[in-house]
Amino acid sequence: MEDAVRPLIERFLEHLVLERGLSEHTATAYRADLARFLAFLSREFLDRPADGLAPADVDALAVRSFLAALARDGLGRRSQGRALAA
């Protein structure tokens, strides 16, 4: 599924690997975290298709709601922190 946000995510991850020295393993984990965040925004927070999301849709309330959903789903604090870092 292609949308306005995914190319930005890929460029961001490429920057982290090439310019900041992030490991491919960590980049893969970040990609999964960001995909989970997009799915959350689409299904639970904004209630519209992921291909209609834009960076402007992400605000502090969206992030806090996502972290609350991760905690509700039983994700550990470290994994929540990594998701927030991504």
Boundaries of every domain in the chain: 6-85
- Predicted confidence (pLDDT) per residue in 16-62, tens digit: 999 999 999 999 999 999 999 999 999 999 988 878 888 888 999 99
| Cα distance between residue 78 and residue 53, in whole Å | 27
| Cα distance between residue 81 and residue 5, in whole Å | 21
- Let me know if domain 6-85 sits in CATH 1.10.150: yes
pTM here is 0.84
Selection from 29, 43, 45 nearest residue 1 by Cα: 43
3-class DSSP state of 54: coil
Instruction: Compute CA 59 distance to the chain's CA centroid, rounded to the nearest angstrom.
Output: 13
pLDDT value at position 2? Answer: 47
| Cα distance between residue 10 and residue 24, in whole Å | 12
